[in-house]
C-alpha cells in the first residue's frame, strides 16, 4: 500500500475508475490510489443490465446521456477492448393516460435536445417487436439511438487505461477510517495501511453513506436490492430493450442470445443485500410472459442481484460537501449510474483538476436536501 497519494478514490466501480482514468489521461493527475473492497465488478458495476439511454424526463439527464452514448460508442476503439456495444434502441411502454402524458412530456424534452425519440401507438410498437402483447398498453416511446453493452469490459477497460497512466488500483482493501485536521482530511486508513492525502473521492455507490459517516457527513442515500435474470440463449429476434414504466419490467437480448431483464420489487430487505429471491423470479416471469407470451417455455439459466443507490429526489449527489474540504461525492444515481459514469467521470475529473465550478454539480449538491430544493426524474426503471 502506498504511504501517500495526491488523491484517493474509494470505490473501484466504473464511476471511480472513469474518474481516475480521466484525471490521469487528460489532466495529468496520476498520483492516484483507487481502493476497492472486493474484486473489480463485484459491486453494482458488474451486476447491472448494461443499458445506455438518453430517454429521460429532465434536460440535464438527456444531455448528459447523449454525451455518454458518444463516449460509449468510441470506448472499444479507445481502450482496445470489446464491450459488445449494440445500438438496438429502447422501447418504453405505458398503461394509463397519466403515464402517457408524462411520457409525451419527456419525449418533448428529448426532441428539444436533439434526441429523436418518437411516440408510437401499440400497433406501431408491434412492428418493432412483433412478439409483444400490447393488451392494456396505451402508448409507447422509441428511440433507436439508445443501446446496450456488456458491463464488465467497461470496468476492465477503465481500470487498464487508468493503470497505464500511473494510477494504482488496490483491490480487496477496506477503508476503516480517516485522519483529519479540522475540516481537512490528512489520511485514509485501510486494513492494509494508511495513505496520506488531502483529497478523497467517495465513489462507493450504495456503500457511500458508510464512508461519509466516518467523516461525520450524513448522506441521504439508501441501498435497494435489484435482481436480474438471464435465460438460455435464443436465436436473435429482439432488437430494442423493452421497458414497462407501469411495473419496472425491462428486458433485452444479449449478443449471445440470452434474454436479460429485471422488474421492480419493493418487498426487499433493508440495507445492503445481494441475495437472489424466488419472489423476484415469480414477479419477473409473470410480467415477462404477459408482455411476450412466446417466452413462456424459455429456461432461466441464472439470476443475480446488486444494489440500486437511491436518493429522496431520484437524482445523484455529486461534488464537494460543506463539512469536509476536498471530500468529493459521486453517488445516488438510482439505477443508471453505470450508463452515466463515462460522462460524469469526465466532468468530475475536470472539476477536481481545474477547480472548475460546474453548474451541474451545484444542482446536485448535498445541501439541497436540507434546503428543500429537491429535483425529480420520472423515467426510472426497476
Tens digits of per-residue pLDDT, 144-157? 999 999 999 999 99
Can you name the CATH fold of 59-147+224-309?
Answer: D-Amino Acid Oxidase; Chain A, domain 2 (3.30.9)
- pLDDT > 70 fraction of the chain, expressed in percent and rounded: 99
Q: Following CA atoms 57, 334, 224, 34 in sequence, which dihedral angle do they give, to the nearest 10 degrees?
A: 170
**pLDDT above 90: residue 52:** yes
CATH number of 7-46+152-221+313-371: 3.50.50.60
User: What's residue 380's pLDDT?
Assistant: 83
Q: Are 46 and 334 in contact (CB under 8 A)?
A: no
User: What's residue 381's pLDDT?
Assistant: 84
**pLDDT above 70: residue 382:** no
- Cell numbers found for residue 199: 483529497
CA geometry: angle 337, 338, 339, nearest 5 deg = 95
**pLDDT above 70: residue 348:** yes
List 331's β-bridge partners, or say none: 317
Q: Answer left, alpha or beta for residue 273, where phi above 0 means left and psi between -120 and 50 means alpha.
A: beta
Rounded average pLDDT over 132-139: 98
Rounded average pLDDT over 326-334: 96
Rounded average pLDDT over 134-142: 98
Tens digits of per-residue pLDDT, 61-117? 999 999 999 999 999 999 999 999 999 999 999 999 999 999 999 999 999 999 999
Helix H or strand E encompassing 294 = none
Tens digits of per-residue pLDDT, 3-28? 999 999 999 999 999 999 999 999 99
Tens digits of per-residue pLDDT, 206-228? 999 999 999 999 999 999 999 99
For 360, other C-beta atoms within 10 Å of its C-beta total: 16
- Cell numbers found for residue 69: 452514448
Element counts in the chain: helices (H) and strands (E) = 10, 19
User: What's residue 231's pLDDT?
Assistant: 98
What gap in Å lies between CA 93 and CA 366, rounded to an integer? 33
Burial of 99 (0-12, 13-18, 19+ CB in 10 A): middle
Residues 6+ apart with CB under 8 A from 359: none
What gap in Å lies between CA 63 and CA 68, rounded to an integer? 9
* pTM: predicted TM-score of the whole model, two decimal places: 0.96
Note the residue count of the chain.
382
Mean per-residue pLDDT of the chain: 96
**pLDDT above 80: residue 229:** yes
Rounded average pLDDT over 322-334: 97
For cell 483529497, the residue is 199
**pLDDT above 90: residue 306:** yes
What does the DSSP assignment read for 290-328? HHSGGGGGPPEEEEEEEEEEE-TTS--EEEE-SSSBTEE
User: What's residue 313's pLDDT?
Assistant: 92
DSSP percent split of the chain into helix, strand, coil, nearest 5: 35, 25, 40
Tens digits of per-residue pLDDT, 251-302? 999 999 999 999 999 889 889 999 999 999 999 999 999 999 999 999 999 9
Domain spans in the chain, listed from the N-terminal domain onward: 7-46+152-221+313-371, 59-147+224-309
DSSP state of 298: P
What gap in Å lies between CA 379 and CA 245, rounded to an integer? 8
User: What's residue 16's pLDDT?
Assistant: 98
Tens digits of per-residue pLDDT, 309-326? 999 999 999 999 999 999
Amino acid at each position: 500500500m502506498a504511504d501517500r497519494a495526491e488523491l484517493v478514490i474509494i470505490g473501484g466501480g466504473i464511476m471511480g475508475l472513469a474518474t481516475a482514468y480521466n484525471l490521469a489521461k487528460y489532466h495529468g493527475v496520476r498520483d492516484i490510489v483507487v481502493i476497492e473492497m472486493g474484486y473489480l465488478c463485484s459491486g453494482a458495476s458488474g451486476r447491472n443490465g448494461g443499458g445506455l439511454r438518453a430517454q429521460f424526463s429532465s434536460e440535464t439527464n438527456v444531455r448528459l446521456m447523449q454525451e455518454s452514448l458518444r463516449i460509449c460508442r468510441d470506448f472499444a476503439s479507445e481502450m482496445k477492448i470489446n464491450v459488445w456495444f449494440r445500438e438496438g434502441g429502447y422501447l418504453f411502454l405505458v398503461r394509463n393516460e397519466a403515464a402517457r402524458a408524462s411520457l409525451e412530456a419527456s419525449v418533448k424534452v428529448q426532441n428539444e435536445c436533439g434526441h429523436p425519440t418518437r411516440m408510437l401507438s401499440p400497433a406501431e410498437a408491434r412492428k418493432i417487436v412483433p412478439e409483444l402483447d400490447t393488451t392494456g398498453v396505451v402508448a409507447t416511446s422509441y428511440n433507436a439511438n439508445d443501446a446496450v453493452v456488456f458491463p464488465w469490459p467497461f470496468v476492465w477497460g477503465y481500470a487498464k487505461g487508468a493503470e497505464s497512466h500511473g494510477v494504482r488500483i488496490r483491490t480487496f482493501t477496506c477503508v476503516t477510517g480517516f485522519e483529519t485536521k479540522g475540516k481537512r482530511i490528512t489520511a485514509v486508513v485501510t486494513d492494509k495501511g494508511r495513505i496520506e492525502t488531502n483529497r478523497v473521492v467517495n465513489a462507493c455507490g450504495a456503500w457511500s453513506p458508510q464512508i461519509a459517516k466516518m467523516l461525520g457527513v450524513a448522506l441521504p442515500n439508501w441501498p435497494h436490492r435489484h435482481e436480474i435474470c438471464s435465460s438460455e440463449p435464443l436465436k436473435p429476434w429482439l432488437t430494442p430493450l423493452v421497458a414497462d414504466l407501469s411495473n419496472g419490467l425491462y428486458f433485452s437480448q444479449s449478443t449471445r442470445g440470452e434474454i436479460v431483464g429485471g422488474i421492480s420489487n419493493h418487498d426487499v430487505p433493508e440495507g445492503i443485500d445481494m441475495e437472489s429471491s424466488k419472489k423476484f423470479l415469480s414477479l419477473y416471469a409473470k410480467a415477462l410472459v404477459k408482455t411476450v407470451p412466446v417466452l413462456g417455455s424459455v429456461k432461466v439459466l441464472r439470476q443475480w442481484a446488486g444494489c440500486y443507490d437511491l436518493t429522496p429526489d431520484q437524482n445523484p449527489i455529486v461534488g464537494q460537501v460543506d463539512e469536509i474540504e476536498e471530500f468529493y461525492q459521486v453517488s445516488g444515481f438510482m439505477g443508471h449510474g453505470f450508463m452515466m459514469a463515462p460522462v460524469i467521470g469526465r466532468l468530475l475529473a475536470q472539476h477536481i483538476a481545474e477547480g472548475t465550478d460546474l453548474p451541474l454539480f451545484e444542482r446536485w449538491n448535498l445541501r439541497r436536501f436540507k434546503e428543500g430544493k429537491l429535483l425529480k426524474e420520472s423515467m426510472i426503471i426497476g
